[in-house]
Chain A
Amino acid sequence: MKATTLFDNYTTSPNTWDEMYDQIIVRDPYKKVFEFISTIPAAELNKSEELARRLFMSQGVTFTVYSSGEGIEKIFPFDIIPRIITGAEWSFIESGIRQRLRALNLFLKDIYSTQFILKDGIIPFEMVYSCPHYIREMQNVNVPHDIYVHIAGIDLIRDHDGTFYVLEDNLRTPSGVSYMIENREITKRIFPDLIPQNNVLPVTQYPNILHKNLISLSPRQTSEPNVVLLTPGMYNSAYFEHTTLARLMGVELVEGRDLVVENQRVYMKTTSGLQQVDVIYRRVDDDFLDPLVFNPESTLGVSGILSAYRKGNVAIVNAPGNGVADDKATYMYVPEMIRYYLNEEPLLKNVPTYHLIKNDEREHVFANIHTMVIKKTNESGGYGMLMGHAASEKEIEDYKKEVLKDPRQFIAQPTISLSSAPCYINGKIQPRRVDLRPFALCGPDGIEIVPGGLTRVALREGSLVVNSSQGGGSKDTWVLAN
């Protein structure tokens, strides 16, 4: 192998699992990529990086930031070195996610009907009723095939010994899947032949599986049901994803103003009059879905859509009210749910979590606050977090006051270091922390998980926060065939 300086200064952090290096030895699945990149001069890698940037731009894989009335196109930062998962790791992840989703789906069905898990004392009643995402209007609704979670994005991280932990279950409107698809397309362009040489499993089938599932939910007995994707509109930062998915599935991309409800049926306004809609894959949050039931100020949703849903005249994906299952306080109980509903031991571990409403747990967290991460139960995107190891004394004191105002809304977890992976940054290969979000699709035929996902990267040196709103980027994620 030709000597190269690119990897020479790559130093892994102590107590951290590095995806590529085992101490100083390159792990087997990374060997081919390591050898390939080692033979490329830095100038060539810069060109590849530039090509990736240009492709994202010209294909419009961008989001728009509006400042002083003018839109500026931004790219979600992309790191050119792929993240690799072995076939064995993947099959473990896959069965873990499957198990978890089966339990979470049963939980939602239970909560919105018989509530056995509450009556049996596994989960306290107040935990559910104090959750702002619990929707009373969903009680006793007949949900098609009893599927509440059709699309899930489960966030996984790896601790220092390489063990996978579930950090979050995203069961409402998880985003990022378009980057799973587009990042792969970009890798094909910047590193020709590398993908077949490594025997990487494809991800292109995702939209087809999703489309098949959506069609199967149609309440009307018709050979050609109308499936639509409901977007909040082009000012949404995930708009690119909405257009991509609509295009790849060949379904109509609609906004709230394109739809109208009459006689508890949903119609879209077309050039030839009103046409009934059967299935709505909505990327609009519950709060904005129906101004008659939720936020009355919302103009993004459709008045009366929930009554059409309750009547069974339209399918909504994901089901409204799923937020009660991916609330960060509910998260603590998922292992219990798995035991309760499935009589199985959880495969994927939870990160130990303290609920600050419990006095003893709160005291423990406050006493060890420098080794804790405190999060709001209902925030996402990395907002409203306190990273104990990095916060100043003043920040900690202020945060404690916030917690004491309403402890139900806060949980704490010990700081988990997150694994690191090689990234090409400023002409050097450096380790950065990563997580993994695979996307699972649940349909009447079962749960399918496309081999791949979104690897998010904390691009700032030393940072443990991978959220795109906090300076995160992404990587192409390879699952190797065995």
Chain B
Amino acid sequence: MLSRVADSLYWMSRYIKRTDSVLRLLKVNYASAQDDAAFTWRPVLKIFTYLEEDEISKMEKNTRMVLHYMIIEKDNPNAVATLVTKARENARSVQDNITNELWQTLNEFYHIVRDERLALALQTKDPITTLDMLIARAMLYYGIAESTMFRGEGLNFMNIGKYLERATQSVDILDVKFSDLSYDLDKTAEVTYWKHLLQSISGYALYLKTYRSGFEARNVVELIVFNNNYPLSIIYSVNMLDRYFERLKESSDRANYDKIRFMIGRLRAKLQYSNMHTLSDQGLHKFLIELNHDLTNIGNALNEHYFAYS
């Protein structure tokens, strides 16, 4: 497979995953904003945007303004519209390597986020309806990718992008809230926030079945980091990353392959042989920073050894 094509498939997939995460994060925070008069968008804006302090102060209490900025604003590189546009540009240049159904669903998604009716709906209508519609579009993309894409190198690179991004996003989702709590696991944040968070990332039912003691920060972290059965957990994402990377073995240059396999394997072992006790000892903040660092390094190594073409 052409290096450029592998690169585009990988980023197409990453951008849609990021779109999905941003949308879910907006949904949970929007729900909190409706529940809590003291709610602020500050953590979301700090982690997902490059806004200056005074701009954040201006926006942090204005929900509609934040939604506009995070979904439509062209100057925001992590706005949903920007991400979908990038995903579609990547898809457009590799149409011969993806199915027509996949191209069409991305192309339609692109036309939806560029339609002025979306901006209007975000200003005047119920935002949850809009967010759910957009999330469903991202889900449609994954369903079509999974059920129509031929099994091969291309799908492997797409899945590598997807799971690398998903792990990174799960780290960020924890970071958003805990930066607010100074990364103290024993500080109890309001119960409703955890509830909304779990609902928005499809972890609510699993949480209720796993923990009987109500909503505690510690359990939420355990679910999102260590639960092997939860498809959005960090450990699950890293396991999948490992699985799809291994499938590249045959078509890879051996030395390059081994280098990256080592990095993924090491991260996987780290997660497998940690638990909430070791995490508490190390401190949540440090743990999250390290994870982020490891994931970034894997991304860079892929770039260097698989995608470099110019």
Contact = CB atoms under 8 A, between A and B. Distances in A.
Interface of A: 57-60, 70, 73, 233-234, 239, 243-244, 246-247, 250-255, 257-258, 268-273
A271 B153 contact: yes
Nearest to A268: B2
Interface of B: 1-6, 74, 89, 92-96, 100, 103-104, 107-108, 111, 153, 248, 251-253, 306-307, 309-310
A194 B306 CA distance: 50
The 9 tightest CB contacts between A and B, nearest first, are: A246-B96, A243-B95, A60-B107, A247-B96, A272-B251, A269-B309, A253-B96, A271-B6, A58-B108
B114 to A, nearest CB: 8
B309 A257 contact: yes
Given A59-B104, A258-B309, A247 B95 contact: yes
B96 A243 contact: yes
B301 to A, nearest CB: 14
A146 B100 CA distance: 37
Contact of A269 (B3, B95, B108, B153): B3
B104 A58 contact: yes
Contacts of A58: 104, 107-108, 111
B107 A272 contact: no
B96 A258 contact: no
Contact of A234 (B3, B89, B104, B108): B89
Contacts of B248: 271
B77 to A, nearest CB: 14
A250 B152 CA distance: 15
A239 B248 CA distance: 30
Contact of B103 (A60, A70, A234): A60
A250 B98 CA distance: 11
A204 B17 CA distance: 36
A273 B253 contact: yes
B310 A257 contact: yes
Nearest to B95: A243
Contacts of B96: 243, 246-247, 250-253
A255 B2 CA distance: 10
B79 to A, nearest CB: 14
Nearest to A260: B309
Contacts of A257: 4, 309-310
Given A234-B93, A250-B96, A258 B2 contact: yes
A60 B104 contact: yes
A244 B153 CA distance: 21
Given A246-B96, A271-B248, A271-B306, 19 more contacts: A57-B111, A58-B107, A59-B107, A60-B103, A70-B74, A239-B92, A243-B93, A246-B95, A247-B95, A250-B96, A252-B2, A252-B96, A253-B94, A253-B96, A254-B2, A255-B4, A258-B4, A270-B2, A272-B251
B299 to A, nearest CB: 16
A250 B97 CA distance: 8
Contacts of B100: 247
Contacts of B3: 258, 269-271
A60 B98 CA distance: 14
Nearest to A57: B111
Nearest to B1: A271
B95 A253 contact: yes
B107 A271 contact: no
A243 B4 CA distance: 15
Nearest to B89: A234
A127 to B, nearest CB: 41
Contacts of A234: 89, 92-93
Nearest to A233: B93
9 contacts: A58-B107, A60-B104, A234-B89, A234-B93, A253-B95, A269-B3, A271-B1, A272-B1, A272-B252
Given A58-B107, A254-B2, A255-B4, A272 B95 contact: no
Nearest to B91: A60
B75 to A, nearest CB: 11
Nearest to B3: A269
Contacts of A258: 2-4, 309
Contacts of A253: 93-96
- Residue among A60, A234, A269, A271 with max Cβ neighbours from chain B (10 Å): A271
Contact of B92 (A57, A60, A255, A271): A60
A58 B95 CA distance: 14
A268 B1 CA distance: 9
Nearest to A64: B92
A271 B9 CA distance: 12
Contacts of A247: 95-96, 100
Given A58-B104, A60-B103, A258-B309, A271 B251 contact: yes
Nearest to A228: B2
Nearest to A55: B104
A383 to B, nearest CB: 27
A119 to B, nearest CB: 46
Nearest to A231: B93
Contacts of A273: 253
B250 to A, nearest CB: 9
Contacts of B92: 60, 234, 239, 243
B13 to A, nearest CB: 15
- Residue among B89, B95, B153, B252 with max Cβ neighbours from chain A (10 Å): B95
A381 to B, nearest CB: 24
A273 B1 CA distance: 9
A70 B252 CA distance: 37
A272 B5 CA distance: 13
- Residue among A250, A258, A270 with max Cβ neighbours from chain B (10 Å): A270
